[in-house]
Structure 1
Amino acid sequence: MKVAVVMGGVSPEHQVSLASGRGIAKAVEILGHTAIPLVIDAKGNWIDGQHEAIEILQACDVTVPALHGEGGEDGTLQGFLNQLKVPYVGSGVAASAVGLDKHLTKAVLRAHGIAVTPGVTLSGPDLTDTEAAMQTIKAAGLDFPVFVKPGNGGSSYGVTRATDLTSLARAIADAADVDPHVLVEREMVGREIDLAVLQFPDSHVDTAPALEIHSDPTQPFFNATAKYDSSATRFVVPAPLEPALAERLRRTAIEVFEVLGCEGLARVDFFVPAEGAPVVNEINTFPGFTPASQFPRMWAAAGMSYADVVDTLLRTAVANG
């Protein structure tokens, strides 16, 4: 097959996307297909030119939209590919748009009885009036410490832990620079567990063994530095979980995938408190996909190589049409 791999994009995750795209393109070649990289620069321009990119996409059998965050993972590129009638890997417009919007994701999951991290969304005057924001936060039953994050985005860009009014004001301003809707969430003390969800060509959906994150202890939380630039962060897979908890997380991850209407792949991130039930923190409809990323690591623990996972994604995309 001819496989277009789209990478880069306008989001702060531009460099991560380039790394994901290069890894996928290499796997495509290993599988015996022809990989055609298409790069979108940080300003949103197709390096090869938009008209040329359209011709290339329409000449390919399938496209991998290896973009993370705004402009790629949010349904924008998926809608473009739908118009071109080009089969592609991953979720469609609606699931991609909802999946990147943390507020919408949690509203939908909550409506289906799925436990999520308690939080509230700030917008408008609350973004510049810290006292008003604090009233909104307290009305939602929250108090310090809280995590403040952009409503859209990934890789922890714009995310801050706030412990008082001063740090809250800074955190809201930083998050608002990324997105005009800012999510404030209760700090969850406990384990961070990720599940990789994969759809197979026959349409059945399954998860790989869970992964537990042990973030760099010198960082305030699992931030971008801990994710990409630290040798002290450890990923343990399979995560040591009691069988009942492992099965509960597996069922919930698949339920999240299906409730949101996802296709192809997703990573569902959980908090597991020391006491109480697990909660869904967020979903990534196109998670980081370098050979060292969490998603391929989890499937490696299931006996699937990086190339095996890419092969499954391609075949599923073609089967889904």
Structure 2
Amino acid sequence: MNDDFGCEPDVPLRSVSKISVVFNLKKSAGEGEPDDKYEEYDPLSTVESVAETIASFGFSVSLCEQDENFASRLQNQSPEFVANIAEGRGQGRGREAQVPCALESASIPFWGSDAVSMAMALDKLLSCRALAAEGIPVPFSASFRGNEDLASLPSLFGQFSRMVVKPRYEGSSKGIFSDSVAHSPLEAEKKIRRIWNRYDQPALLEEYLPGDEITVGITGNGNPSVAGMMKITPLQAREEFLYSLEEKRNYLERIRYEGPETIPPALRDQIGRCAVSAFSALELRDMARVDFRLDSDGIPRIIDINPLPGLSPLYSDLPILHRLSGGTYAGLIRSILMSAFRRCSLDCSPFAREADAS
């Protein structure tokens, strides 16, 4: 068995003709629910973009929503491979592992990380600890589950003047608002209780890093590589900047995405190596996005790692950074598919035919 986490190198290649795209469809929050409850889910336009791009390579593609009829729908479609972009149902920290678990149980190959890595990466505290154990720079963080944990706030603010308060296991900037930086124990407690009440999960306190925010795309397996990177800056300079829910929802008016040429070469190389190390440390597969902030000394630290990055060709960070680095959306999807096909010992000849046709 090689280092691609489950790929047998010498078995006969299996051909694939039928691929299902598994997803959760974005819907409006119900009465009494947070307005960002379904922020991680995809609109139909994103699902169709992924499906149409995969179909352009010559595959027969079906759409398979992960809802209450998911199991029977998947059985009826009988895919030979799955492109999984589903975030999972419910609020548990293992929700991103739901579809990988189902596919593993059914012996259906799929792109992306396995259930263990998905669950680990979604829990920001556990992933932070795992990366730190490998010597990868991360910010200080602490979990707050209940009232008994609040007694540690004065001590923390004796060490750090500013801390970011966010949910422990959410994505798409859910629970990260423009006012999520706390400057005192009292302010932090109010924001911690907001997380408890709004998301019914532990709050995470993380030291605020004042430097630039840079995000990196990684693709591949045994020798993963950087698929691009970009710097994320506000259009209007401000003393404290968070790439918050409000910023992402209004990115056209509030955010500037700057390509790798705006990052000093030495820093670019350092961040790229660190992102690849993090990808390998968590044993991720095929694709991921790794988010960095520079600390007061200019040292890049990982603030989040996402093995299930958004794939909207319009507004998702991974396609944007890939495009700013000279790539195309079709090229990104092709790269992810080919990485997964090679890992799963599937026949990659359709991609060769597609390249010849172009």
Considering the TM-score relative to the shorter chain, is it more than 0.5? yes
User: 2:96 is paired with a residue of what secondary structure?
Assistant: coil
In the alignment, structure 1 residue 27 sits paired with structure 2 residue 53: yes
SS for the counterpart of 1:310 is helix
Larger radius of gyration: 2
Q: Kindly provide the amino acid, as one letter, of the partner of residue 6 in structure 1.
A: V
Secondary structure at 2:280 match in 1? helix
2:229 aligned to which of 198, 204, 210: 210
User: Mean Cα displacement is larger for which, 101-110 or 178-187?
Assistant: 178-187
Once the two structures are overlaid, the 10-residue window that deviates more, 7-16 or 300-309, is 7-16
Q: CA RMSD in A?
A: 2.5
Q: Is the 8 A contact 2:139 2:303 kept in 1?
A: yes
CA distance in 2, matches of 1:270, 1:70: 28
1:256 counterpart = 2:278: yes
Matched letter for residue 122 of structure 2: L
1:123 aligned to 140, 145, 165, which one? 145
Separation of aligned partners in 1, 2:233 and 2:20: 35
Equivalent pairs, count: 307
Establish whether residue 64 from structure 1 lines up as the match of residue 95 from structure 2. Answer: no
Aligned 1:1-321 pairs, distance under 5 A:
1-8=17-24, 12-16=38-42, 18-40=44-66, 45-46=67-68, 49-56=69-76, 59-68=78-87, 74-126=96-148, 130=150, 132-135=151-154, 137-138=156-157, 141-143=159-161, 145-159=162-176, 160-176=180-196, 177-199=198-220, 203-215=222-234, 217=236, 221-231=242-252, 232-292=254-314, 293-321=316-344
What stretches of structure 2 of length at least 5 have no aligned partner? Answer: 1-16, 27-36, 345-358
Please report the TM-score for the alignment, with normalisation by the length of structure 2. 0.78
Contact 2:154 2:185 in 1 (8 A): no
Partners of 2:215 and 2:229 within 8 A in 1: yes
Shift of 1:118: 1.5
Give the SS at the match of 2:251.
Answer: coil
| Residues 15 and 94 of structure 1, relative CA distance in 2, 3 Å threshold | closer
For each residue in 1:251-274, what CA deviation from the matched residue of structure 2 results, as whole angstroms up to 9, or x when unmatched?
Answer: 100000000000010000111235
Native 8 Å contact 2:165 2:181 kept in 1: yes
Indicate conservation of the 8 Å contact 2:165/2:205, yes or no: yes
Q: Secondary structure at the match of 2:113?
A: coil
**Overall identity of the aligned pairs, in %:** 23
1:7, 1:39 within 8 Å by CA — same for their partners in 2?
A: yes
CA distance in structure 2 between the partners assigned to 1:170 and 1:16 by the alignment? 31
Q: Is the 8 A contact 2:25 2:42 kept in 1?
A: no
Q: Amino acid of the residue matched to residue 308 of structure 1?
A: G
Post-superposition shift, 1:137?
3.2
